[in-house]
Amino acid sequence: MTQDDLPTTGFGCGFFDYDHDGGLDLAVVNGRVKRGPALPAARLGEFWNHGDNSLRVFRNDAPKEGRHWLLVRAMTGRRDALGAQITVSAGGRKHLRPVLAAYSYMSSNDPRAHFGLGDADRVEGLEVLWPDGRRQRFPSGSVDRELTIREGDGEAP
């Protein structure tokens, strides 16, 4: 890096639905390169368990009303089902999220899958492709909540 470089550097980024409108948003976390120990990383996820992704933004003009969400934790045994893919159907749309512990350089994220559902007030379907290749469906239900699903508890599609 040279003197002409920007004073900050993008160390971590990730896609998630910050405003719960059903579309993915991009978050880029900046830092500075200084002498001494540094921990350049991004951590995206649901820290306070209230449905809002916990990220500080300079200006967030997103409306809150009519923006529903679902937070899904997929488990295999007593572990997070890393590598699983969760599909949620709501409001006539399908939303797909992978279960990942990290998706950015030197970063770690909440392994729960966050779904912004826009104005959909009910989940019409939830399907999981587990890491071993099996598919299972789980009961539909209400929105604005956290749900834990376990491999083996669902039904074959």
10 Å CB burial of residue 25 (0-12, 13-18, 19+) is middle
- Whether 81 is in a domain gets the answer yes
Give the pLDDT band of residue 1 (cuts 50, 70, 90): very low
Residue 2 belongs to a domain: no
> Tokens 């009910």 label which residue?
122
Mean pLDDT is lowest, of 44-53, 63-72, 109-118, 125-134, for 44-53
Tokens of 117: 């559902």
Residue 87 included in any domain: yes
Cα(119)–Cα(63) distance, integer angstroms: 11
Burial class (CB in 10 A: 0-12, 13-18, 19+), 44: buried
Q: Can you give the pTM of this predicted structure?
A: 0.72
| Least confident stretch, 44-53, 99-108, 146-155 | 44-53
How is residue 40 written in tokens? 């350049």
What's 13's domain CATH number? Answer: 2.60.40.10
Q: Answer whether residue 3 is part of any domain.
A: no
Give me the domain span that covers residue 130. Answer: 9-150
* 156 in a structural domain: no
- CA 50 to mean position of chain CA atoms: 14
% of the chain exceeding 70 in pLDDT:
68
Range with the poorest average pLDDT among 23-27, 71-75, 76-80, 92-96: 23-27
Does residue 130 form part of some domain? Answer: yes
60: pLDDT confidence band, cut at 50, 70 and 90? low
- Answer whether residue 62 is part of any domain: yes
Domain contains 127: yes
Mean pLDDT throughout 103-129? 88
Q: What's the domain count of the chain?
A: 1
